[in-house]
Chains A and B, each alone.
Chain A
Amino acid sequence: FVSYNIVNLIKSAKIIQRQTHVPSSENISNLSMNSDCTQVVVPEEVFFTIATAGILENLLVLIAVIKNKNLHLPMYLFICSLSVSDMLVSLYKTVENILIILCKMGYLTPRGDFETKIDDVMDSLFILSLLGSVFSLLAIAADRYITIFYALQYHNIMTLNRALIILAVIWAFCAGSGIAMTIFSHETATVISFTILFPFMLIFILCLYIHMFLLARSHAKQIASLPTRAVPQRVNMKGAITLTIFFGVFLCCWGPFLLHILLMKFCPLNPYCTCYMSIFHVNATLILCNGIIDPMIYAFRSPELRSTLKKMICCTRWKLKEGF
């Protein structure tokens, strides 16, 4: 995992520091008995369940979009890209858990060349999927923005070919960044750029959505100028709730992990930071939960996609019944 690489290099850099702490090395076990923060362990069954649910759900979204010709549109392409990145995150976590289990059973040595190479590949895959997730969210927001503000020229601006090109550029950039960040994971600049990228992207997406929201509000005001009052409150409350859900989910799921990376880089020996880092597995579980929640708030909001899924489920049920 990312932590292993960074931790390896922190360790090699601080080996001299540790020499001064040698006399207390025997007290490590004693210290661990005292009021320290032990690692909060999440059972692996929970990991596997959540990761598998995430993979299946995103796979359903992908199959629904591929099967239904009506959904071959730029907007659904971006939602598919989000589903792919969420699926990659869940897949990564599953493979990592399998590797850890293999380590425990002794089939793999934790320091071997092969294992570190696999570790590197997994790290770059994780960063790739993380960046892909954020850029897909940005693409979805930009697509909706163009839909609302350039409504009549939308079909000319956002053609299917352009959407595919945009996606190709995004994923190439994410792959390159993933590999670069894995290679240079010990540099401070990597960690800082990684953690700064997220707030910037988030603020940009927030600005897009707030602009759309303000337009909705001005339209609601126009409607409010007509005699009845019930409509605009409802429209804008829904908009406010939707926006809050989008950003709340993103912040709650990715925020803890980003803070973990920052703390790991800048204060690994501080007891407060160590206590925060001990809940790492809970943070990783939150990232998996993001993979489950994202299809619900992006993909399944579309009535067309929902009806496609219902048809698929009904068809398989009918086929099963026919089979029996």
Chain B
Amino acid sequence: MSAHRLISNKTSPQALPNSDYPLEYEYYEYGPVSFEGLKAHKYSIVIGFWVGLAVFVIFMFFVLTLLTKTGAPHQGNTEPSEKRFHVSSFVADFGKPLESDKVFSRQVAEESRSLFHFSINEAEHLGKVKQSLKAPGLDSNTRFQEGPRSSGRLEEDLNYLPKFNIPNFVNTDQNSSLGEDDLLISEPPIVFESKPVIQTSHQILD
């Protein structure tokens, strides 16, 4: 009986003030909740949740930036350069010690050249792979069925090949099928402006 009265209280909208009816309805559904004797602040869950969320996001950000800092540039720079220096100095022991620097710089330039040549070769290889898909599809193999369509994509991919802007660290364009070489191609051109080798490779890509 009293339960019916409770229900009838809830289902008669006219008795309620002119606030949002469903809101009041939801509120009454939770029954009488006594707010006396609360030890903590009443919004403690709200505050705790948002503070926890903010701390977690900031923590994640710091972990990610720390990941970038371990193996930091100066560390990464000194280790291989030290190795090369040791190798070059070992080699140079039999020759003139002054040439160790030249050997080092030559090795560095060679490596950078080889990195870019590798990426250029990758691009050419990719082009060849795609051109091989252009072969007329005589059989019903799905790979060849996609030939004509991928050839259309080949042109647009070659058009997009030079445009390597990475707004985020993942290149979301389809031309990022070069994948891990993207980072080598896009970022260094800004840095290695003075090196003629890299300039020519960049012009090839442009």
Does chain A have a CB within 8 A of B94? no
> B30 near A238 (CB under 8 angstroms)?
no
Note all chain B residues with C-beta closer than 8 A to A227. 77, 108
> B179 near A225 (CB under 8 angstroms)?
no
Does chain B have a CB within 8 A of A144? yes
> B42 near A35 (CB under 8 angstroms)?
yes
Q: How many residues does chain B have at the interface if contact means C-beta atoms less than 8 Å apart?
A: 87
Minimum Cβ distance to chain B for residue A149 (Å): 7
The stretch of A58-66, A83-91, A244-252 that contacts the partner chain: A244-252
Note all chain B residues with C-beta closer than 8 A to A273. 45
Residues 111-161 (chain B) with a chain A CB within 8 angstroms: 111-112, 115, 125-126, 129-130, 142-143, 146, 149-150, 153, 156, 160
Note all chain A residues with C-beta closer than 8 A to B181. 151
Minimum Cβ distance to chain A for residue B115 (Å): 8
Does chain B have a CB within 8 A of A176? no
The stretch of A26-34, A122-130, A183-191, A312-320 that contacts the partner chain: A26-34
Cross-chain pairs A/B with CB under 8 angstroms, 20 sampled: A7-B29, A21-B32, A22-B3, A39-B23, A75-B172, A147-B176, A151-B180, A152-B129, A217-B71, A225-B79, A226-B108, A227-B77, A235-B187, A239-B68, A240-B61, A251-B53, A275-B46, A301-B168, A303-B165, A303-B173
- For the complex with contacts A213-B169, A244-B60, 17 further pairs of A-B residues with Cβ separation under 8 Å are A18-B3, A25-B5, A28-B32, A110-B11, A110-B21, A147-B179, A149-B179, A154-B179, A222-B184, A231-B187, A236-B67, A256-B49, A259-B45, A271-B35, A271-B42, A275-B43, A303-B173
Does chain B have a CB within 8 A of A219? yes
Does chain A have a CB within 8 A of B177? yes
- Among A10, A150, A214, A219, the most chain B Cβ lie within 10 Å of the Cβ of A219
What CA separation (Å) do A191 and B185 show in the bound complex?
A: 48
> A41 near B64 (CB under 8 angstroms)?
no
> A229 near B77 (CB under 8 angstroms)?
yes
> B3 near A236 (CB under 8 angstroms)?
no
Q: How many residues does chain A have at the interface if contact means C-beta atoms less than 8 Å apart?
A: 104
Of all A-B residue pairs in the complex, the 7 with the closest CB atoms, nearest first, are A151-B179, A239-B169, A236-B68, A240-B64, A242-B168, A224-B76, A22-B2
Closest to A79 in B: B172
